């Protein structure tokens, strides 16, 4: 095996594959946490709404304040749900998790068994091509996500929007 093929493999693995893999792991975990926080906050808001509604129905001091809280908290909860829907924490986390799984399936070539320099270079190139295919697939997913966004007035011709 040539030293050049080994160096190319080492550089590609460290600078491209492992770097992207680490990024995907960090980002997937970040979106998992954000999704979990959103669910937890929604549960707290639901509990507060129930408590405020119950207290507003009882004959207690501050009954009007509890009634206002019972009306306002669901609006805050709706805003939180809209925020989560805009960002789509779970969906994005799954997108990155799929990329992680796909990168784990790409097998790195064992250049210690290869004696031919041309064959070693071809194995490194095939490995790089497989990794790049995974990365391109992940990028294509973003295109699908943006294609699903509905833009108000996008179906109108420019002259019709005036």
Whether 137 has a pLDDT exceeding 80, the answer reads: yes
Q: Is the pTM of this model over 0.85?
A: no
Rounded Cα–Cα distance for residues 109 and 13 (Å): 11
Per-position DSSP letters for 51-81, written without gaps between them: HHHHHHHSS-TTHHHHHHHHHHHHHHHHHHH
Q: Are 96 and 38 in contact (CB under 8 A)?
A: no
Comparison of pLDDT for 131 and 148, the residue scoring more: 131
- Per residue in 142-155, pLDDT (tens digit) is 766 556 656 566 56
DSSP symbol at 156: S
């Amino acid at each position: 095996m040539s030293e050049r093929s080994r160096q190319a493999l080492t550089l590609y693995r460290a600078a491209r594959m492992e770097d992207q893999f680490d990024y995907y792991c960090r980002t997937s975990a970040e979106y998992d946490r954000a999704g979990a926080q959103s669910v937890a906050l929604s549960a707290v808001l639901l509990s507060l709404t129930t408590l405020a509604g119950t207290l507003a129905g009882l004959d207690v001091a501050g009954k009007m304040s509890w009634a206002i809280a019972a009306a306002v908290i669901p609006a805050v909860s709706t805003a939180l749900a809209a925020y989560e829907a805009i960002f789509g924490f779970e969906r994005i986390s799954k997108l990155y998790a799929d990329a992680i799984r796909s990168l784990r399936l790409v097998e790195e070539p064992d250049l210690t068994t290869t004696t031919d320099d041309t064959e070693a270079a071809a194995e490194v190139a095939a490995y790089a091509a497989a990794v790049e295919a995974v990365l391109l697939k992940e990028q294509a997913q973003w295109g699908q996500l943006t294609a699903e966004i509905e833009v108000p007035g996008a179906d109108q011709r420019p002259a019709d929007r005036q």
